[in-house]
């Protein structure tokens, strides 16, 4: 029996009590004229009716916790940009979990804004694949898609691999000094088991390598293909040993750049980026509610 069918069993049983003629059913006592209906027909109706898709109901009961949104006054940009940044940040850091329902009115009340900037933000996030807007049903945080993650990893591996090759070939003392300081900070954060600051420092390291190409649109392209990856990494970093394993990959990458070995630097970057899909496989099996 499928998961959503198991979840429907107690409801079907309650319906059976109502329609079976059982005199102990309190509703039947007050309305004895309710007709009897065989249980097999109740089950078939309940699981097929358009009135309630049980699978969706079970998986989307959680509502996004808007209290975790930052104050828009602390952010920069227009009001619409600040609302977008606040909601996107909550999604990427998993403060809004995959599958969670998003109520516009709750966001408006929490941030003290009208519906217009909230609607604009959710539309933009929908275009980025982070939010699902379903007419007549509501809005929810998109669940993680392994297909989208694999595609993003493939694209990022190609783009960042090329950037790492360039960084090694054109290494400068200034770039190397910045990367070395970054790695030393990562080591301290791993020792403190500080996953959130480690991830920010990790992103800074990638940005430093991309900056060596002096191609601003390259960084923009990488960021576009990072949303699904960043959410997935938030699920993995707290796992025991994950920070140290990631740091080891970073050290191998920076060593290749320091040694001015372009081929090794590109291979190290591709290996680092591509590890995500391998690491996600057990999580997808353990938490299918977070994935499509």
Q: What is the 3-state secondary structure (H, E, C) of the chain?
A: CCHHHHHHHHHHHHHHHHHCCCCCCHHHHHCCCCCCCCHHHHHHHHHHCCCCCHHHHHHCCCECCHHHCCCHHHCCCCHHHHHHHHHHHHHHCCCCCCCCEECHHHHHHHHCCCHHHHHHHHHHHHHCCCEEEECCCEEEECCECHHHHHHHHHHHHHHHHHHHHHHHHCCCHHHHHHHHHHHHHHHHHHHCCCHHHHHHHHHHHHHHHHHCCCCHHHHHHHHHCCHHHHHHHHHHCCCCCHHHHHHHHHHHHHHHHHCCCHHHHHHHHHHHHHHHHHHHHHHHHHCHHHEC
Residue 30's pLDDT is what? 47
Mean pLDDT of 203-211: 96
pLDDT of residue 24: 52
Q: What is the mean pLDDT of residues 193-207?
A: 93
CATH architecture of 146-290: Up-down Bundle (1.20)
Region 153-158: mean pLDDT is 96
Average pLDDT on 155-167 reads: 97
pLDDT in tens, 253-287: 999 999 999 999 999 999 999 998 988 888 888 88
Please give the pLDDT value at position 38.
53
pLDDT at 36: 54
**b (16+ CB within 10 A) / e for 56-82:** eeebbeeebebeebeebeeeeeebbbb
- Beta partners for residue 139, in sequence order: 102, 133
What is residue 151's predicted lDDT score, i.e. its pLDDT?
A: 94
pLDDT number for residue 5: 45
For the chain, the structural domain boundaries read: 3-59, 66-141, 146-290
Average pLDDT over the chain, rounded to an integer:
83
Model confidence at 249, pLDDT cuts 50, 70, 90, reads very high
* Residue 130 pLDDT exceeds 50: yes
d(CA 225, CA 254): 23
**What is the structure's pLDDT at 4?**
42
Give tens-digit pLDDT for 8-47. Answer: 444 445 545 544 545 555 444 444 444 555 544 444 444 4
For domain 66-141, give the fold. Arc Repressor Mutant, subunit A (1.10.10)
């Amino acid at each position: 029996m499928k998961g959503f069918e198991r979840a429907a069993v107690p409801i079907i049983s309650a319906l059976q009590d109502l329609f079976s003629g059982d005199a102990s059913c309190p509703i039947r006592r007050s309305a004895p004229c309710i007709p009897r209906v065989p249980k097999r027909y109740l089950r078939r109706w309940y699981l097929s009716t358009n009135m309630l898709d049980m699978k969706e109901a079970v998986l989307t009961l959680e509502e996004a916790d808007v209290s975790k949104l930052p104050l828009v006054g602390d952010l920069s940009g227009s009001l619409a940009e600040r609302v977008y940044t606040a909601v996107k940040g909550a999604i990427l850091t998993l403060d809004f979990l995959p599958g969670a329902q998003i109520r516009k009115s709750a966001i408006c009340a929490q941030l003290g804004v009208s519906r217009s900037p909230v609607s604009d933000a959710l539309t933009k996030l929908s275009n980025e694949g982070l939010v699902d807007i379903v007419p007549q049903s509501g809005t929810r945080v998109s669940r993680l898609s392994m297909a989208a993650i694999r595609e993003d990893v493939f694209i990022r591996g190609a783009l960042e691999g090329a950037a790492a090759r360039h960084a090694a070939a054109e290494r400068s003392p200034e770039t190397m000094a910045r990367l070395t300081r970054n790695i030393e900070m990562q080591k301290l954060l791993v020792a403190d088991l500080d996953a959130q600051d480690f991830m920010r420092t990790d992103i800074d390291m990638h940005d430093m390598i991309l900056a060596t190409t002096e191609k601003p649109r390259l960084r923009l392209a990488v960021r576009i293909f990072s949303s699904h990856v960043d959410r997935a990494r938030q699920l993995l970093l707290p796992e025991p040993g994950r920070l140290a394993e990631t740091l080891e990959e970073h050290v191998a990458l920076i060593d290749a750049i320091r040694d001015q070995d372009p081929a090794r630097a590109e291979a190290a970057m591709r290996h680092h980026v591509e590890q995500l899909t391998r690491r996600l496989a057990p999580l997808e099996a353990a938490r299918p509610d977070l994935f499509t």
